[in-house]
Chain A
Amino acid sequence: MRLDRELACRDIVELVTGYLEHALPPGDRERFEEHLVFCDGCGTYLDQMRATIAATGRLEPAALPAELEARLLEAFRGWRPA
């Protein structure tokens, strides 16, 4: 992605995952961080993304449907380790 010297808020929103994944080229990363110094809104946006990721990480994995798990268990019981 070609970027001008300064990033707009829109660019920040699009680049935030790349930033969090450490996947931005060094120049873009610098411009991203520069923008954050002067833009509280985008700072908040980044915090919200981090909060969202952390909260998602606290979700309990859903249970498998009981019927499916029962079928898998049946296969497991019927299986003889080689």
Chain B
Amino acid sequence: MEELLSPEDARLVEGLRNGDEAAFRGVMREYGSAMLRVAQMYVSSRAVAEEVVQEAWLGVLKGIGRFEGRSSLKTWLFRIVANTAKTRGVREARSIPFSALGDDEDAVDPDRFLGPEERFPGHWAQPPEGRVLGAEAMHVIERAIERLPPAQRTVITLRDLHGLSAEEVRNALDLTETNQRVLLHRARAKVRSALEEYMR
């Protein structure tokens, strides 16, 4: 039944079913902030997003007994949040969130390219093998992600920070393959560009 779950997820699911607070804390540490991110993609305010997470959490508790591990725990959690948020979004009579897709911005400011023959002027090289970016650079990344439009922010967070696959993100957020990729691309391009500014 739960062979499809990772051992950690299987432990978390078992713990939740037993009312174990360590499992609760484990789930919140791993997925709590991502649940809030997913909610924020669909509703207007942070306060409403928090209500969505609360409501979704009741749905999680209601459904955990029947959860069969056909998807990973995080995909299942995020789907519940997304569905709760969408219902809520409809009640709020708001438009569906992909206004972020409606624009036709390029990933990189085009005026950085002098012409089709010009070479891309890379300003910073990959850090030497094994060296990690310093705390300040990590902070630059965090701030750049915070500034992204909600849909881009959610996709890059789920993909690159939480390590979901493209398919998991598409399933959780009901995105087409192309939309998922476009959102991810724009998000990553902006984060890269923020790092470039910082390194310059």
Contact = CB atoms under 8 A, between A and B. Distances in A.
Interface of A is mostly: helix
Contact of A52 (B61, B122, B132, B195): B195
A26 B138 CA distance: 35
Interface string B106-127: 1110100100111111101111
A54 B127 CA distance: 11
Contacts of B184: 17, 21
Contacts of A18: 181, 185
Nearest to B24: A76
Contacts, number: 143
Interface of A: 8-10, 12-14, 16-18, 21, 23, 39-42, 44-45, 47-53, 55-59, 61-65, 68-69, 71-73, 75-77, 79-82
Contact of B137 (A55, A62, A76): A55
A13 B57 contact: no
A13 to B, nearest CB: 5
A17 to B, nearest CB: 4
Contacts of A55: 132-133, 137-138, 141, 195
A42 B50 contact: no
Greatest chain B CB density within 10 A among A18, A69, A72, A80 is at A72
B191 interface: yes
B54 A62 contact: no
B117 A8 contact: yes
B127 A51 contact: yes
B160 A63 contact: no
A75 B24 CA distance: 11
